[in-house]
């Protein structure tokens, strides 16, 4: 394949990205010039940017003018995203590594220092993983899963933020931390005790960081999501369909629809919808919002408790 074909491919992916976030006939100039939406010349870090919410957030920050540092474990996916970012006229750097490893945080700190002269305005802690196991299912053989989950969902984000914290302080009123949480951590869900504990812990860390950043005018908040249409739920959907088919049911029906029916829209939140609350908190619109946990769950907790 020739180089021009590759460029066209990148251009097409960039156009698709704009349309997914801004709709038909997207106007990048408006997105980057609106005083309440622009992130022009700011530097944002997004962990877990390979796919799902993290990728959507990285795309949206770029659309509104930010340069981005993309963290994740899938180097190919990160490099492909970086190509789109650069085609949209912004800088992109990639940090590959396990978020639970302190070397990854050190690598992030090095990239910020070497590539951006220590400048960082936005830290989005998205990386982590769900640990779905009833507490009575833990044995001596799998107890390490507990520390793995806490390391990925709590210790890792703390280390990553520590690596860039001075830059966030120096950013003054532009310094923003946005942690990605879950309503599961707020409500407590059977079978997710360890995951819920780690996300609840991040809620406490969020408030502490918000208190510390008051001195420099920065903010720290968390967005706690309900079901978002990501690969995790898609895998559960596939498993559910196989089980339904084995039982003689209709495999074309969505086994997750009963969960979606508990949401006001009767569907899961899209990745693009999930990214916009982060944009709000990262930009001028969120300047007066700090130490808050913003629930974005389609009303699933409200409807369940009603």
* 108-130 tens-digit pLDDT: 999 999 999 999 999 999 998 87
pLDDT tens profile 46-88: 999 999 999 999 999 999 999 999 999 999 999 999 999 999 9
Q: What is the DSSP letter of 49?
A: T
Higher pLDDT, 195 or 202: 202
Residue with tokens 């769900």: 130
In angstroms, the CA 222 to CA 205 distance is 10
Q: Which of these ranges, 22-31, 167-176, 201-210, 295-304, has the smallest mean pLDDT?
A: 295-304
Domain range list for the chain: 3-228+271-300, 230-268
Residue 52 to residue 48: CA distance in whole angstroms: 8
137-185 tens-digit pLDDT: 777 777 888 899 999 999 999 999 999 999 999 999 999 999 999 998 8
Tens digits of residue pLDDT in 221-267? 999 999 999 888 788 888 787 877 788 888 788 888 988 999 999 99
pLDDT of residue 305: 47
When computed from its CA atoms, the radius of gyration of the chain, rounded to whole angstroms, is: 20
Say how far apart CA 144 and CA 173 lie, in whole Å.
40
Report d(CA 184, CA 196) in Å as an integer.
6
Question: Are 49 and 70 spatial neighbours (Cβ–Cβ below 8 Å)?
Answer: yes
Q: In the structure, what pLDDT confidence band is assigned to residue 192 with cuts at 50, 70 and 90?
A: confident
Distance of CA 230 to the CA centre of its chain: 11
2-11, 29-38, 81-90, 263-272: the lowest-pLDDT one = 2-11
pTM for the whole structure: 0.92
What pLDDT digit, counting tens, does each position of 268-303 carry? Answer: 999 999 999 999 999 999 999 999 999 999 999 876
- Among 138, 165, 195, 225, the active-site one is 195
| Domain covering 3-228+271-300 in this structure, CATH number | 3.40.50.720
Q: Contact 103/97 with Cβ under 8 angstroms?
A: yes
Check whether 3 has a pLDDT greater than 60: no
**Residue whose C-alpha is closest to residue 84's, from 60, 59, 102, 66:** 59
Own/partner pairs, 255-262, CB within 8 angstroms, 24+ separation: 256/227, 259/227, 259/300, 260/227, 262/299, 262/300, 262/303, 262/304
- Residue labelled with tokens 């877990």: 48
Range 130-134, long-range pairs (CB < 8 A, 24+ positions): 130/192, 130/195, 130/232, 131/192, 131/194, 131/195, 132/191, 132/192, 132/195, 133/191, 133/194, 134/190, 134/191
CB contact at 8 A, 46 and 164: no
The conformation of residue 247, written as its DSSP 8-state character, comes to T
Q: Give the pLDDT band (50/70/90) at residue 4.
A: very low
Sequence length of the chain is 306
Question: Which ranges in the chain belong to alpha helices (H)?
Answer: 3-22, 28-33, 52-63, 75-87, 102-116, 144-150, 156-170, 183-187, 193-213, 231-246, 257-260, 271-282, 300-305
Active-site residue flag, 195: yes
């Amino acid at each position: 394949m020739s180089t021009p074909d590759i460029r066209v491919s990148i251009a097409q992916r960039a156009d698709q990205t704009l349309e997914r976030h801004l709709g038909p006939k997207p106007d990048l100039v408006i997105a980057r010039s609106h005083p309440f939406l622009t992130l022009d010349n700011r530097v944002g870090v997004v962990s877990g940017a390979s796919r799902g919410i993290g990728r959507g957030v990285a795309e949206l920050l770029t659309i509104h003018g930010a340069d981005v540092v993309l963290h994740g474990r899938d180097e190919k996916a990160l490099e492909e995203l970086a190509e789109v970012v650069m085609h949209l006229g912004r800088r992109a750097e990639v940090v590959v590594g396990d978020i639970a490893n302190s070397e990854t945080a050190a690598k992030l700190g090095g990239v910020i220092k070497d590539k951006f002269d220590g400048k960082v305005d936005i830290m989005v802690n998205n990386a982590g993983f769900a640990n779905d196991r009833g507490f009575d299912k833990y044995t001596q053989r799998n107890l390490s899963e507990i520390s793995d989950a806490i390391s990925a969902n709590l210790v890792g984000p703390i280390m990553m933020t520590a690596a860039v914290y001075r830059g966030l302080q120096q950013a003054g009123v532009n310094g923003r931390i946005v942690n990605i949480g879950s309503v599961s951590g707020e409500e407590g869900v059977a079978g997710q005790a360890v995951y819920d504990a780690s996300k609840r812990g991040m809620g406490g860390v969020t408030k502490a960081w918000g208190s510390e950043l008051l001195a420099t005018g920065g903010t720290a908040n968390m967005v706690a999501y309900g079901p978002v249409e990501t690969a995790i739920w898609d895998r559960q959907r596939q498993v559910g369909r196989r089980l339904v088919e084995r039982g003689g049911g209709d495999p074309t029906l969505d086994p997750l629809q009963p969960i979606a029916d508990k949401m006001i829209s009767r569907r899961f939140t899209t990745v693009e919808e999930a990214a916009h609350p982060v944009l709000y908190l990262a930009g001028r619109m969120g300047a007066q919002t700090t130490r808050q946990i913003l629930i974005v769950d389609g009303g699933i907790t409200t409807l369940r408790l009603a």
